[in-house]
Amino acid sequence: MSSNSLSKRIRILLNSLPSGVTLVAAAKTRSAEEVKIAIEAGISVIGYNYLQEAESIRQSLFGIMDADQLSSVHWHMIGHLQRNKAKKAVELFDMIETVDSLRLAEVVNRHAEASGKTIPVLMEINSGEESNKTGVIPDKAESLFRQIAEFSHLQIQGLMTMGPRFGDPEEARSYFKLTKNLFDKLAAEHIPNSDLKFLSMGMSNTYKQAIEEGANIVRIGTKLFGERNRDSE
């Protein structure tokens, strides 16, 4: 895809989203040039599944983009985070969307404190209770949410869920409804030190359904950049 075609594609998608919905460009496997085009087309949040890739692309971008333009871009961790990589994640990302255990929260908080930061996080919900996916199951969510909220260097700002990646997009709707209901329940509890304002749901195949069910963050890769392979997002 030419740079002009990619830029046009991105602008059309951005303009199609309702006001108040943030598009996270899921940039796994994408080149620095593709990410550069996305930012220049209006993308303000870049999401990565892997730390090494995020670090490499960021370093490359500083060689081909204006530093002021890059300073306005936010970086989200949208893949599973291993505890032994939490220190690097705190250095690289402006938000971690995939906190799913007390042990991970403890480690992220410790490194954030050592860095003098307070890191915005989302709690990942395994809304389908699938054994092959990460995330806390819904019945355990409130207990974990309250524990995460106690950490002084984490700011828990909402929930994230995956839902099915492929197949009929309508099959994802029930997962999104469940997560939105949980979000509303937690918000109504007014849990100290929490600030529920983000609900991250939906990818290329399901973002429209996610938005209809209350998502205000969507994570889109293939629909944004074009096909790469089935594991690109």
Q: Count H helices and E strands in the chain, helices first.
A: 10, 8
Q: Is the dihedral of CA 110, 111, 114, 120 positive or negative?
A: negative
The tens digit of pLDDT for each residue in 171-186 reads 999 999 999 999 999 9
* CB-CB contact of 48 with 73 (8 Å): no
Confidence (pLDDT) at 160: 98
Share of the chain above pLDDT 70, in %: 96
Mean local confidence (pLDDT), 215-229? 89
Average model confidence (pLDDT) across the chain: 94
Read off the pLDDT of residues 88-113 as tens digits, 9 standing for 90 and up: 999 999 999 999 999 999 999 999 99
Rounded Cα distance, 102 and 115, in Å: 20
Query: 3-225 is classed in which CATH architecture?
Result: Alpha-Beta Barrel (3.20)
Q: How far apart are CA 227 and CA 205, in angstroms?
A: 12
Domain boundaries, the chain: 3-225
- Per-residue pLDDT tens digits for 122-151: 999 999 888 778 899 999 999 999 999 999
> Which pTM was predicted?
0.94
What's the rounded Cα separation, in Å, for the pair 3 and 38?
A: 9
pLDDT in tens, 65-82: 998 889 999 999 999 999
Q: How far apart are CA 203 and CA 120, in angstroms?
A: 21
Confidence of residue 229 (pLDDT cuts 50, 70, 90): very low
Rounded to 10°, the helix 32-40/3-16 angle is: 50
Q: What is the average pLDDT across 41-66?
A: 96
Q: What average pLDDT score do residues 1-18 get?
A: 92
Tell how far CA 109 is from the center of its chain: 18
